[in-house]
A and B are shown apart, each in its own frame.
Chain A
Amino acid sequence: MKLLPTVAGLGLLAATGFAQAADPNLPRNLAATCANCHGTNGKAVPGAGIDALNGVEKAKALQKLADFKSGAKPASIMHQIVKGYTDEQLDLIASYFAAQK
């Protein structure tokens, strides 16, 4: 069963033991950490050889990230990066990019 983003956000709070409310721009801020390689708001530079993430269907993105994490999908670098984010954070990131045109 898929968690709603708000529930995922609460899960993140519980995980870090932080009493403060989540920042309303948390998905945007988290997604921005991907932009160095994948382009601002996921719009990668065409022809530069790195995947664009804007408009990628959320379920598809989460499956790919899960496969990087488990090792099912081979990668040069993403298998190491994806392990630095919680599942809740990946959920927020995938939602944000799915909504980008």
Chain B
Amino acid sequence: MMLMKRRDFLKAGAAAGALASLYGCAGTGKASGHVVVVGGGYGGATVAKYLRMWSEGGVQVTLVERNPTFISCPMSNLVVGGTRTMEEITVSYDGLKNTWGVRIIQDDVLAVDAAKRSLRLAKGGELSYDRLVLSPGIEFMWNEIPGLDNAAAQSTILHAWKAGPQTVALRKQLEDMKNGGVYALTIPKAPYRCPPGPYERACLVANYFKQSKPKSKVIILDANEDVVSKKGLFTKAWTDLYKDIVEYRPNSEVKDVDVASKTAILEFDKFKADVLNVVPPHRAGDVATKSGIKLINDRWVDIDWLSMESTNTPGVHVLGDAVFPAPTMPKSGHMANQHGKLAAAAILNLLSGDQPNPTPVLMNTCYSFVDAKNAIHVTSVHQYDPATKVVQPVKGAGGVSAARNEIEGKVALGWAKNIWADMLA
């Protein structure tokens, strides 16, 4: 059945390709072929849309995504904090399908055979590709926290670091907690997904407590020696807005968890909470780590910054949080979207027989809310440096907000609407 579908699709693809060639195509050559994208998050959805848009339909794109809809990690802390709903951070894949002609398969990928240029799907069947894009996000390293290395523990002690059912469940735990309870959030050592995210979550949970459960506490157990992102702005928010609620503890790496008593076990200390929210250390998603693709530190994919192509597996491009980051480059949705565009441009050049753009630029912006209305940002611009063959942050560019403000709170919501449209509409 899968083969049948694929044959039909290829026929349709050939027709679309012929149609596109009538209208011509930007670029020096004519890109054609079939690209499979695995993972429809900020990176994968973007590369799928931009491949279709920039090739004017000349390149066929299949997106394999396990979830029926896109749920955004950015803005999900507002759901945890109770000021936004899941519906407001959920976007359909219909735009990719209907407007851009991306074929969408809701499934998981079991294995990639890069030599054969094909991959095997969990529900059965194989897909062959000319180029493959993996945008698998992160996988948690549960073995680093033995008490959480089973499904039952993971349904009680939540991470909520992938937006979805865990976001809803964490909100429910906070609502069920008594006034005077303790919420503890643990942060793994950097690099992790969304550097300012944990500190934003601490602010938004504290904002909820301040209004609804003022005797309650937020304790941040940070494995890092200091606040990783927007330090001055977050610490000022904790002092100004949540003085008797938020307590920050650096150098507090969680080694294990006692699930029954909701206790985080640190190296020399223990911490018991009413709601324990553990963000475990993470690595590149399974499809990237199980396909023989070169990793750095056994965790992140080593890529060529001109094309996002694996350094040891030709034809496989990897995006987003799964990638070993360039200097100061955050693992963010915004950056994954930028990776998607860099990869789309490079893949179209390669499919046309040209070299990738030798001078790519990437930029990042992350907004964080410190309460329901006020936000702060961090931004950076990264230019390719031929000497080091890495995208390097531009000195003197980028920076953070002067102070938290409501204007950036409005812009942050506008950012979400625009980036979701840039990926999916």
Contacts of A40 in B (CB 8 A): 49, 53, 421-422, 425
Contacts A76-B408, A76-B411: A25 and B357 contacting too (C-beta < 8 A)?
A: yes
Query: Is there contact, CB below 8 Å, between A39 and B379?
Result: no
Query: Is there contact, CB below 8 Å, between A18 and B380?
Result: no
Query: Is there contact, CB below 8 Å, between A39 and B421?
Result: yes
Q: How far is the CA of A89 from the CA of B381 in the complex (A)?
A: 13
Q: Is residue B178 within 8 Å, beta carbon to beta carbon, of the partner chain?
A: no
Number of interface residues of A (CB under 8 A): 35
Most buried by B among A22, A28, A36, A39: A36
Contact of B415 among A23, A26, A37 (CB under 8 A): A37
Q: Is residue B319 within 8 Å, beta carbon to beta carbon, of the partner chain?
A: no
Query: Is there contact, CB below 8 Å, between B422 and A39?
Result: yes
Which residues between 62 and 94 of chain A lie within 8 Å of chain B, taking CB atoms? Answer: 76-77, 80-85, 89
Number of interface residues of B (CB under 8 A): 51
Contacts A38-B418, A48-B417: A77 and B379 contacting too (C-beta < 8 A)?
A: yes
Q: Is residue A8 within 8 Å, beta carbon to beta carbon, of the partner chain?
A: no
Q: How far is the CA of A30 from the CA of B362 in the complex (A)?
A: 9
Query: Is there contact, CB below 8 Å, between A35 and B411?
Result: no
Q: How far is the CA of A35 from the CA of B417 in the complex (A)?
A: 12
Q: Is residue A45 within 8 Å, beta carbon to beta carbon, of the partner chain?
A: yes
Q: Is residue B419 within 8 Å, beta carbon to beta carbon, of the partner chain?
A: yes
Which residues between 351 and 380 of chain B lie within 8 Å of chain A, taking CB atoms? Answer: 355-363, 365, 377, 379-380
Query: Is there contact, CB below 8 Å, between B418 and A28?
Result: no
Query: Is there contact, CB below 8 Å, between B418 and A83?
Result: no
Q: Is residue B250 within 8 Å, beta carbon to beta carbon, of the partner chain?
A: no
Query: Is there contact, CB below 8 Å, between A25 and B26?
Result: yes
Contacts A36-B334, A40-B421, A80-B397: A16 and B341 contacting too (C-beta < 8 A)?
A: no
Q: Is residue A50 within 8 Å, beta carbon to beta carbon, of the partner chain?
A: yes
Q: How far is the CA of A57 from the CA of B371 in the complex (A)?
A: 38
Query: Is there contact, CB below 8 Å, between A23 and B359?
Result: yes
Query: Is there contact, CB below 8 Å, between B338 and A33?
Result: yes
Query: Is there contact, CB below 8 Å, between A36 and B365?
Result: yes
Q: A20-B355, A20-B358, A84-B398 are in contact. List 10 more A-B contacts (CB 8 A).
A: A22-B358, A29-B361, A30-B361, A37-B365, A37-B415, A45-B414, A50-B415, A83-B396, A84-B361, A84-B382
14 contacts between A and B (CB under 8 A): A18-B358, A23-B349, A26-B357, A28-B54, A36-B418, A37-B414, A40-B422, A50-B415, A76-B408, A77-B365, A80-B399, A81-B379, A84-B361, A89-B361
Please list the residues of chain B having a beta carbon within 8 angstroms of any beta carbon in chain A: 26-28, 49-50, 53-54, 334, 337-338, 341-342, 345, 349, 355-363, 365, 377, 379-383, 386, 394, 396-399, 401, 405, 407-408, 410-411, 413-415, 417-419, 421-422, 425
